Structure 1
Amino acid sequence: MNQKGPRLGEPASLWRMRAVPVATVMIASALPLMLPLVASSPVLPPLGLLFFLCWQLLRTEMWPVWIGLPLGLWDDLFSGAPIGTAIFLWTAASIAIAYLSQRIYWRGFFHDWAIGALLVAIVQSIAALLTHPHAETGRVLGLVAPQIIVSILLLPLFLRLTGKFDNFRLKRR
């Protein structure tokens, strides 16, 4: 008897389960370099950070807490920030999400949006201050504020996209 569809109880592809989340973050981190966009101030949201936070919020148990180290290094290579900026900040965000996941048992969409918005604002602000250490704090934060606002407003879209990628990741062969 020849069956064409997946068998009942058959697990999803192990390769897809591991590769899809990492690939989405890595491609999103490299994507701004591929776009023909010239701006005098940062306007494009940090796509890699948004996908990283959304994966962490959606599937907290999927990655170890230290996953911010290699993915942050990848983002540092493409963002132009000093090496170690995203490594430190993404790992700290991952620790914060793991801590909050243990404290808040019933999280909903608005909880995830609030946690993501807070972390995006903190990570982007600290990254801007670390990237420009000799500039005035008010000017640096004023320069990065539109990028933070756009990122926070796009967070629900990225949560939805991450859910779609997660459905693809878990789909049986």
Structure 2
Amino acid sequence: MRPPSRLPLGTAAAPSRSGWKAPVSILAGSAMTLLPVVATIPILPPFGLMMLMAWRLLRPDVFRPWAPLLFGLFDDLLSGQPLGSAMLLWTICFVAVDVVDSRLVWRDFWQNWLIAAAAIAFCLSVGRLIATPFGAHVDTVLLLQILVSIALFPLTFLLCARLDGRERRS
């Protein structure tokens, strides 16, 4: 027997068995900074933030509004950024996506990519202002990191869709 497509008023949907995939994938994305990668310039994208934005844009109902605080704390502890910077910036991005969601009737892939690109650029730019002295010349590297992160976001979105089981079957 198939469950009804609409739930009666006042009832909640049964919790999903795959509810652990989203938080674990975000934590694994943040843990990517622990990999021993040697590079002359630091262009490693913020995979934790990218996974959070992909899950938020794909499934808005997965996380509570306070979830980015915990994910940001985990990312701050692993990445070495000043404590609270990812907590603040990820929560601002999460709330900004909520505001955009309330204004838009529907979104497509390009709008999701644009929203995520703005969130990634905002977090990396403000994170640079928080963590790096003003005399440091890291603007070119920061721009390269932003471009690499934006270019890799569709793969992150596809990974989240596959984990969720929502990819298109052709």
Structure 1-normalised TM-score? 0.84
Asked whether 1:117 is paired with 2:117, we answer: yes
The aligned amino acid for 2:52 is F
Q: Deviations over 1:32-81 (max 9, x none)?
A: 21x22112432111111110110111112221222110000000011110
Cα pair 1:60 1:97 within 8 Å, conserved? no
Q: CA deviation at 1:141?
A: 2.6
- Matching of residues 17-166 of structure 1 within 5 Å: 17=19, 19-33=20-34, 35-132=35-132, 134-136=133-135, 139-166=137-164
Q: Tell me how far apart the structure 1 counterparts of residues 106 and 18 of structure 2 sit (CA, whole Å).
A: 28
Q: Tell me how far apart the structure 2 counterparts of residues 54 and 146 of structure 1 sit (CA, whole Å).
A: 21
Corresponding residue for 2:18?
16
Q: Identity of paired residues, percent?
A: 35
Q: Tell me how far apart the structure 2 counterparts of residues 53 and 103 of structure 1 sit (CA, whole Å).
A: 18
Moved more, 57-66 or 67-76: 57-66
Structure 2-normalised TM-score? 0.85
Query: What secondary structure, in the 3-state scheme, does the structure 2 residue paired with 1:16 have?
Result: coil
Q: Tell me how far apart the structure 1 counterparts of residues 62 and 105 of structure 2 sit (CA, whole Å).
A: 17
Query: What secondary structure, in the 3-state scheme, does the structure 1 residue paired with 2:151 have?
Result: helix
Q: Which runs of 5+ in 1 are unaligned?
A: 1-6, 169-173
State the 4+ residue runs in structure 1 displaced beyond 2 angstroms. Answer: 11-16, 134-137, 139-143
Q: CA deviation at 1:167?
A: 1.2
Cα pair 1:50 1:155 within 8 Å, conserved? yes
Query: What secondary structure, in the 3-state scheme, does the structure 1 residue paired with 2:66 have?
Result: helix
The Cα RMSD (Å) is 2.0
Moved more, 99-108 or 59-68: 59-68
Q: Deviations over 1:73-112 (max 9, x none)?
A: 0000111101101000000000000110000111000000
Using CA pairs below 8 Å that are at least 6 residues apart, which structure has the higher relative contact order?
Answer: 1
Corresponding pairs, count? 158
